[in-house]
Structures are given as structure tokens and as C-alpha cells.
Amino acid sequence: MEIKVEPKAMAIKVEEKAMEIKIHRDIPEATLKKTKEEEEQPLSPAARIFHAPEFNCYVISVIGVKKKIEPNVVIEGLKQTWIRHPRFSSKMVNKTNKSKQTQRWVRTNVVVNEHIIVPDIRTQNIENANADKFLESYVSDLTLVPLDTSKPLWELHLLDLKTSDAENVAVLKFHHSLGDGMSLMSLVFACMRKTSNPDELPTLPYQNRSSSGSSRLTVGSRSGFRFLWLFTVIWSAIMLVLNTICDALGFIATTMFVMDTETPIKGDYRLSKPKRMSLVHLTVSLDDIKLIKTTMKMTVNDVVLGVTQAGLSQYIERRYKEKKKIVGDDLESKSSSHEIPKRIRLRSALLDLADMMANGSKCKWGNMIGYIVFPFSIGLQKDPLEHLRRAKKIIDRKKNSLEAALTFIVGKFMIKAFGVKVTANLINRMLSNTTMSFSNLIGPIEEISFFGHPITYIAPSVYGHPHALTMHFQSYMNKMTISLTVDSTVINNPHQLLGDWEESLRTIKTAAQERGSTHQ
């Protein structure tokens, strides 16, 4: 059954109270100047990058709730919270000052109901079996519609739609210039409350990083241990410098000429832009991931990247087999056990945001993004746990490097030295030479509600950058939601990729349990 989603929406009519504007003529000139500066702020270098035609990115998040959404309640809640933030009550304005054009955030009076969209889907006669497809089609249509720059760059869609995993659905859409994924999701969480206590903010887990071997050696070290501790510190510093230099050279090489292998999941954004993107998600048990983590003595990130490596290998293997069948090589494709070419170069631009959220740091609002070029080891393994070991080895190596900080600093320098257009082209080129994007955000550990609406899942994602595949992982309570944003002309069966990821998780979990039983 083909579902057509019409862009028509029914806006909610809410009477806005007239605002009284008081003018004080005796206000000192210095105070007026300060107020004007607060009312107008220049766009940060990263925000200007996200407005460049080569890199026009949006953040979109699908939120499932347990009850029918009451639009008026949500609107009143947003008036008390969301629009008080400067970025969500400011519009972007191009200004010319001394023959130089600049982009600035200018505070404006926000009419909340202009940003709330409630589509009239009652005429669609959607059955429960087709509700999920309708949601995917609706969100996919949103990727083709730019936000109105005459207003603050965000909108909220409230869908009276019962899907397989939610009673109703809300879809948040922001322009990426407002902030990075961590900043935006932090603001979303700040508008939510615990369902167990409506007066309390959500609680994010605190990751107590295990002390390094060097710090443990200091306890009780009086003689030989002191020398060993000093040697370890010096050696770690040397490796940090060497790793950073190697990663920096690799990053430059990727930007200039080193391209990933042309695989069935690598897109080519030089063909046409913008493109219609498809967004799908899958929710799995976070307890399964933690079980593997505990058994293998790894972190959640190690497990997630290892399972992703296994799932991608399985999916790419299937796609190569399908390609062989299409060209008529049926017998050979059936007899061959492995169809993946050897020495595939497949790398992901991994966003270094998870640690900042996990440590509960009071991070500055904005686009604080550092890129890490993460190489995946693609290939089927006899031992499923080998995917975890290889992923952990690369992660441990990347942890002992300043690649993320360096790319962030160099990016700011490039904008000042060469301008937004050149920097946007270079970032676009670097991402085009890799295959995919990957990020992992940590969410609340207990059930929360969105203005009185208990949440079942949160599925954030991003689009507009030159990748045919973007994977986002969002934890919430005892669940992990995997969100895929794909170019449907390249990956026309994203649910199969989600299925391969889920199957890889089950296989690795079984292998980890067997390993744990053997050790016991």
C-alpha cells in the first residue's frame, strides 16, 4: 500500500497576549549598548559553516509518547521553557556593516503556534500496520522542506498517529546552526521531567572512568614503582604526540586524496543535492549491550561500535551477493562463502560528543564538534567476538590522540584564515571521501515526560551532510535506539541493515555468554 503524505498542515489557533513595551528614556547609553549586544549576537564560525550551501545541515528527532498528545499543553509548556533560550527566540539576519556582510542572531517576538504543526491525517485512513510507513514517509518529506529563515529556525510536528511502538509521535526539527547534537538534546531534556517526580529534571548517567594504570601505581609507590610510574607517564605522552601527528596527517590525506572503497553503502553527493533522506529506527535492550560490556570488560561504546562493524559486514556481504545475482552469476554466488572484497577501506566520521555528556560537564552552547576518522574492519569473522576486539583496539588507539580537539581548533583557524566557503568545501570534501557518520548520545536513566506526555523512545538524527548513511545511538532508560538516516537511492532497504545490526547483537551476546560460562 503506497502512502502519500500531503504537506498540508492544520495550525493551532492560540490567542497571543499583547506585549507591553515600556520605553525608559533615562536609561544610560552604556546600558542600552549592552542590551543591544545581548539582543544581537554574531553567528559562530561553525554556525556559519552549517549555513553554507555545501553543508546545510539539520537535526531531526522523532519522539514516541505513551498517550495522545495535547497540543495546547505542549504550546504552553514551550512558552515557559523553550523560547526563553536565546537561540530559539532569535532569527538569523544578514547585515551589512562597512561594506562587509555578516550573519547575526537577532532576538524576536516568538509566536509559538507558528512553529507547531499538527497535520490533519484523519482523512488518510491509516491502519496500524501502515502507521510506521506513514511516519517514515512523513519524516522523509520533511528532509526536502527548508525552514523559514524569517523565523527562529525550529519547528515541532505533533502527529496523532499510533505506531507499533508509540501511542503518538512528535517530530522536532532544528537547523544545525543552533547548536551541536549534544547542545540541542540537552535543551530538549531540560524541558522534560521525571514521570516519578514532575518537579525533577532527568538524570543522566555518570561514567566513572577507571583510573589509568599510572595513577594506580602511585598508591604506595616508594621506590621502583615511582620510576615505573614516571616511565609510564613519559611513554604515554610520547605516544599521545605520535598518535596525534599520525591522525593529523591521515586527516589531511583524507581531505586531499585518500578515498574510501566504493561499496554498496557509499554515496556520491556530487550527483544532485538536496536529496530525499529516509529515517528509520530500531530499539533494542540496553541490558544486552551492558551484559556484553561486562563479560568482555569493555565500554558501551566499544560494544556498540563492534556490533556496528559486524552488522555492516553482514549487510555489505548480502549486497555484494545480490549484485552478483543481478549480473547472472547465480551459481558462483551460491557456491562462494564470502563475497566481500578484501582490504575494503570503510571509515566513519565519528563525532566526539559522548564523553562530554557522560561527564556531566557544563559545556558551552554551540557547535562544539570534533571529528575522528574511525576505520571499520569489514569482513565476516568465524568468531563474532573478534569484531569487538578489533573495534576496542581502534578505540583505545584513538583515545590516546588529540585528533578531535585538533580538528576543532584547525576548523576555527581555517574559517578565520580562508573564510566560510573554502572551509565548508574542505569539510564537505573530507566527509565525501569517507563512507558514513556515527555518533552516540547518552540519555536519561529513568522514564521522563514531555510536558506531561510519558516518552517511550527518542530517535535523533541529522541530514544535509555528504553521507549516504548516518547512524545515531541514543540510550534511554534500559533501551538503546538506533537511528539510520539513509539516501534511499543508495540504501533502499534500511530496515534490512537494522535487522543485520540486531542479529549481530544477538550473535555476539550468545558468544559472550558462552565465553563467560567457559571462564567460570
Q: Catalytic residue numbers?
A: 176
Distance CA 36, CA 45 (A): 21
- Look at residues 370, 365, 373 and name the one whose alpha carbon lies nearest to residue 355: 370
Does residue 7 have a cis peptide bond before it, meaning omega lies within 30 degrees of 0?
Answer: no
How many other CB atoms are there within 10 angstroms of residue 51's CB atom? 20
Close Cβ partners of 326 (under 8 Å, ≥ 6 residues apart): none
Distance CA 402, CA 404 (A): 6
| DSSP tag of 340 | S
Q: Cβ distance 182 to 370 under 8 Å?
A: no
399: amino acid identity, one letter = K
- Look at residues 366, 370, 390, 365 and name the one whose alpha carbon lies nearest to residue 378: 390
Q: Cβ distance 412 to 254 under 8 Å?
A: no
- Look at residues 5, 282, 1, 6 and name the one whose alpha carbon lies nearest to residue 129: 1
Distance CA 387, CA 378 (A): 9
β-bridge mates for residue 155, sequence order: 173
Taking the CA atoms of 489, 51, 420 and 461 in sequence, report the sign of the dihedral they define.
Answer: negative
438: amino acid identity, one letter = F
Distance CA 405, CA 9 (A): 43
Distance CA 138, CA 4 (A): 9
Cα 322 vs. chain centroid, distance in angstroms?
A: 30
Q: Cβ distance 324 to 338 under 8 Å?
A: no
Distance CA 407, CA 393 (A): 22
Q: Cβ distance 449 to 201 under 8 Å?
A: no
> Which residue reads 553554507 in cell numbers?
52
Q: Cβ distance 340 to 378 under 8 Å?
A: yes
Q: Cβ distance 422 to 45 under 8 Å?
A: no
